[in-house]
Amino acid sequence: MGRVAGSYGVRGWIRIERPQAALAQCGRWWIGGREYSVAQVKWHSGALLAKLEGVETREAALALKATAVAVQRGAMPEPAEGTYYLADLVGLEVVNEQGALLGRVEKFFSNGPQDVMEVVGDKTRLLPWVAKVVKDVDLAGGRVRVEWEADW
């Protein structure tokens, strides 16, 4: 859902890099294998800032730096019509526009500019999660359609 980029101020606030918008709506976060209650969140200059209960100093906030922020799936708000969470796509079949099965979605990660979908089948493929490549997501049908050749 995001990564702790560092501290903000001296009172224990943390700054989250590349946060998913839904993160701000969740009241409990998992950071570094520990659950935290979120006391307050606010957006500032495009970054999500958060005050966690029990994190009171700049040093305590800095101790969380570079740690992934996660939430339980059930705590997240339902996505809007026609949208989805990338985590919900793990396990779906990936087919190209010619109908060839490329494999199944294994996981997602970020390379900075965009998310990347790891597809495992006859070989492992790393597909950028961009509109030019990802053509359609059918959650009900369990399939992601992509513009990607089978021999790439």
pLDDT in tens, 6-36: 999 999 999 998 787 889 989 999 999 999 9
Nearest alpha carbon to residue 49 among 73, 84, 19: 19
Q: CATH number for 2-74: choose from 1.10.620.20, 2.60.40.10, 2.40.30.60, 3.20.20.370.
A: 2.40.30.60
Instruction: Write out pLDDT tens, residues 65-121.
Output: 999 999 988 888 888 888 888 889 999 999 999 999 999 999 998 887 889 999 999
Check residue 29 and give its pLDDT: 96
In sign, the C-alpha dihedral spanning 49, 52, 58, 60 is negative
CB contact at 8 A, 102 and 96: yes
At the fourth CATH level, the homologous superfamily of domain 86-146 is PRC-barrel domain (2.30.30.240)
CA-CA-CA-CA dihedral for 129, 65, 76, 84, to nearest 10: 0
Which pLDDT score is estimated for 121?
Answer: 97
Tens digit of each residue's pLDDT (9 = 90 or more) over 31-58: 999 999 999 999 998 889 999 999 999 9
